[in-house]
Structure 1
């Protein structure tokens, strides 16, 4: 039987760090004027870190028989944590912000501290998942660039269930190729294959901003360039999952991109898209968020939505006229309207608990429960909800063709044809706060109206 006295060993080595007798290395950390010099022992550092072993082998002794290193890319605060770990095998997170812990993870990888790299990843995923989601784009890109497997798996699990968090993020078009490929190769990515194709094409076109906007104006060189841009992405698309109608609609314009052999040997994706939300705009996670607001929940729903979102109107299917919405939704209550704004890709909308009236005379209607909102895809915590404050001017209906509007106070004002006429806008009156940063007029890419029904 072997007895191990690790606590005493750790304490003695930590004391040696604090009183560096016979040190033979100095490490200058950080940039002046806040740089700091650490006196350390090469035999300890090189036995704990391959990085330092290599550095010491490359660095000669000076006239005082001391090796001098400079590390300007790491702060003295971070290095102080790392050097205590190297000497004593201890680390404390009590006074460290989460962002510092993440920086510590990056520094630990660069210093080849494998044990600490694994521990820090596990700590972040277990104890700071909400922060990782808050900084999702940064965390995702860093995790692939730095090869953090545990955090990669954490990110992949989120993307698989909520693909809009990456595909609809503001940073999507700037994703590195290896990150995009890692996403589209996921076997359980909860996104239809034709939409994956659309996003891949969008990413490829963003990499070639000089191409004509109209694909009919493209030259053979344009197609060849895009083919080169996307050559590593194409093998990860499951073409056999796309219907013949979609093949004609979405692939035919890009037929010059393909070789004769289009088939893929990849497995079919395990798609489990929730049946309670069928939308071109919002995700199931967005629907849970809206349902939480309807029920005034302090803790939002994360699963098991109590409501069914029954699609009544879709602009691309039924037309974009407000008049059409009135005709289809007349006498329907408890509705949510969602809109994707042209160019900015903002997702905004409102909840209306009242019956919709196909009223050509125009009138205000009272509500205490209506609200408007702005939904975020990359970070749901940044979504905005604005509840009605002037109850007697909550909702305004007018289906007269000369007026043709639906208003939530002055907070969300929808006018005429939502797609062809840039007449809709968001104001600041009658509801708690604005849902857009400006009152510019806008048109929409798509809009949908859902009836909200309790699940049976």
Structure 2
């Protein structure tokens, strides 16, 4: 029998780190005013890290037999955590912010502490996916040139393929380096129209040349030449020959000077005579993959309890082959049920009676789910940008309440700070648990039906003057009570209740609240022969 006392051993080694009597290594980290020195023992450093083993081999000791290692890339805060890990094998990240954890992972990799680096990589992917999505440029640029971080690379490559708008339409797109952009453009499976890729690349190139005027019609020959030089490695990766001719004339022709005469002539010829050979290389069309899992696209009718060769509009044979039975039967929402969905469909069409479950004319496609994608407000804008005809539903923390809103317009990340006009939006609360009746509140003053905030780290969906708004001062809708369904209650006027832009309040209280989960669905019209009303 063996008795193991690892906890006591770890504690003793941790105390040894603070023993200043017999150290023989000084490590200087940080720069200038942030520089700090740590003492250590070479025997620990050598056996725990190949990096320190090599550094100590190349450093000459002073007359007191002490060696000094200088590392300006690592901050004092990060190195203190790493040094404690080297001695004790313990790392406590409970009160450390996510950016510091990421920096800790990256520095651990540089110091060849593979065990720690891989553990932190797994932790970030499993628990901080939302942060990773909203800091794409920061992380992707760091891991792009590394031979490590294979799981993080896979994580980002999956995002690039399935949700390219998260990258192209985020604030992290413009700061991308050319090599990083090229690595994305090389992919054949980007799930985005080629003309949009051209728009994004053009925007990136123009931003790299800040002297260019906003109107390309006012550009000089030198201006076009500068843009051509900036994009010379990107242009061969654009699939111009798979963009419709009328779109080419509208979107590409104004910039034909950066393409070169041969390429432009070949594009025109190919659009006129697709079967005629051209000199320029024609890359294959991108393979657009399905960006949603089967369980994210659900018709409102019941899923059949027996498959037996019958397949609903939710899945096909290939999906069934890939999914376990529990995955196939997974509900389409964590918040609402099919009765709620039928009720919402009826409100969209302004029906006085509800659609039946079997004959609802709409499908609900899940775009975003907080518990899956994260609760950062910027995640909402990144993932919902460009989607029109959407339903937002949120589960209020500590109650049975389900509140939400319908936006017939497209969410547009570029229109921050604007009020949006529509006659067709509405807000609502749904019957659930001890909430016995649903409430529908149609827009009353269309000029301020919605507001698209320019503070997208704080505000998510915003209907009216806060009649339904999702907000967080700490960038997490679940962590602080800043969401609101606002209305005015006036005892002086006979207890009258006023809403600013919607017909009536959807909650009985003005108290701020947090949420436990929220979802955004795109509502898609089905082609049905008849839609009965009950």
Please give the range of the TM-score, normalised by the shorter of the 2 chains.
Answer: 0.5 to 0.7
Aligned-pair distance for 1:100?
A: 2.2
> Are the structure 2 counterparts of residues 223 and 353 from structure 1 closer, same or farther at C-alpha, using a change threshold of 3 Å?
closer
Instruction: Name the counterpart of 2:239.
Output: 238
2:68 match: secondary structure: strand
Which consecutive unaligned segments of at least 5 residues does structure 2 have? Answer: 263-278, 298-362, 366-380, 398-403, 427-439, 444-448, 468-485, 489-496, 504-509, 513-521, 529-534
Aligned-pair distance for 1:122?
A: 1.2
Q: Distance in 1 between matches of 2:155 and 2:138?
A: 14
Aligned-pair distance for 1:80?
A: 2.5
Q: Are the aligned partners of 1:35 and 1:76 in contact in 2 as well (CA < 8 Å)?
A: yes
1:78 match: secondary structure: helix
For residues 1-400 of structure 1, what are the structure 2 equivalents within 5 Å?
7=6, 13-14=13-14, 16-19=16-19, 22-30=22-30, 37-71=37-71, 73-144=73-144, 148-259=149-260, 260=262, 261-265=279-283, 268-272=286-290, 285-286=384-385, 291-293=390-392, 295-298=393-396, 336-338=408-410, 349=420, 352-353=423-424, 368-370=441-443, 372-374=450-452, 382-385=460-463, 386-387=466-467, 389=487
2:281 match: secondary structure: coil
**What's the CA shift string for 1:388-434, capped at 9, x where partnerless?**
73676655xxxxxxxxxxxx79xxxxxxxxxxxxxxxxxxxxx999x
> Are the structure 2 counterparts of residues 131 and 72 from structure 1 closer, same or farther at C-alpha, using a change threshold of 3 Å?
same
Q: Distance in 2 between matches of 1:255 and 1:200?
A: 14
Aligned-pair distance for 1:75?
A: 3.9
Aligned-pair distance for 1:346?
A: 6.1
2:409 match: secondary structure: strand
Q: Are the aligned partners of 1:211 and 1:222 in contact in 2 as well (CA < 8 Å)?
A: yes
Q: Distance in 2 between matches of 1:189 and 1:215?
A: 28
Structure 1 range deviating more: 183-192 or 4-13: 4-13
> Are the structure 2 counterparts of residues 283 and 127 from structure 1 closer, same or farther at C-alpha, using a change threshold of 3 Å?
closer
Which consecutive unaligned segments of at least 5 residues does structure 1 have? Answer: 300-305, 308-333, 356-366, 396-407, 410-430, 434-450
Instruction: Name the counterpart of 2:494.
Output: none
Aligned-pair distance for 1:213?
A: 3.3
1:197 match: secondary structure: helix
Q: Are the aligned partners of 2:416 and 2:454 in contact in 1 as well (CA < 8 Å)?
A: no
**What's the CA shift string for 1:31-85, capped at 9, x where partnerless?**
6888654332224323433432343233211110111234455344422221232
Aligned-pair distance for 1:273?
A: 6.7
Q: Are the aligned partners of 2:390 and 2:407 in contact in 1 as well (CA < 8 Å)?
A: no
Q: Are the aligned partners of 1:205 and 1:226 in contact in 2 as well (CA < 8 Å)?
A: yes
TM-score (norm 2): 0.54
Q: Distance in 2 between matches of 1:127 and 1:289?
A: 30
Q: Distance in 2 between matches of 1:378 and 1:267?
A: 34
Q: Distance in 2 between matches of 1:376 and 1:159?
A: 25
**What's the CA shift string for 1:250-279, capped at 9, x where partnerless?**
2322223235354244562324478989xx
1:209 match: secondary structure: coil
TM-score (norm 1): 0.63
1:108 match: secondary structure: helix
1:173 match: secondary structure: coil
Aligned-pair distance for 1:173?
A: 2.6
> Are the structure 2 counterparts of residues 381 and 127 from structure 1 closer, same or farther at C-alpha, using a change threshold of 3 Å?
farther
1:190 match: secondary structure: coil
Q: Are the aligned partners of 1:338 and 1:350 in contact in 2 as well (CA < 8 Å)?
A: no
Q: Distance in 2 between matches of 1:247 and 1:159?
A: 25
> Are the structure 2 counterparts of residues 245 and 283 from structure 1 closer, same or farther at C-alpha, using a change threshold of 3 Å?
farther
Q: Distance in 1 between matches of 2:129 and 2:253?
A: 42
Instruction: Name the counterpart of 1:359.
Output: none
Aligned-pair distance for 1:229?
A: 0.5
Q: Are the aligned partners of 1:85 and 1:91 in contact in 2 as well (CA < 8 Å)?
A: yes
Aligned-pair distance for 1:372?
A: 1.7
1:208 match: secondary structure: coil
**What's the CA shift string for 1:347-392, capped at 9, x where partnerless?**
763665579xxxxxxxxxxx83545232689869745443273676
> Are the structure 2 counterparts of residues 88 and 384 from structure 1 closer, same or farther at C-alpha, using a change threshold of 3 Å?
same
2:408 match: secondary structure: strand
Structure 1 range deviating more: 155-164 or 222-231: 155-164
1:172 match: secondary structure: coil
Q: CA RMSD, aligned part only?
A: 4.5
Q: Distance in 1 between matches of 2:111 and 2:452?
A: 43
> Are the structure 2 counterparts of residues 164 and 287 from structure 1 closer, same or farther at C-alpha, using a change threshold of 3 Å?
closer
Q: Distance in 1 between matches of 2:511 and 2:94?
A: 38
> Are the structure 2 counterparts of residues 137 and 218 from structure 1 closer, same or farther at C-alpha, using a change threshold of 3 Å?
same
Count of matched residue positions in the alignment of Structure 1 and Structure 2: 356
> Are the structure 2 counterparts of residues 30 and 170 from structure 1 closer, same or farther at C-alpha, using a change threshold of 3 Å?
closer
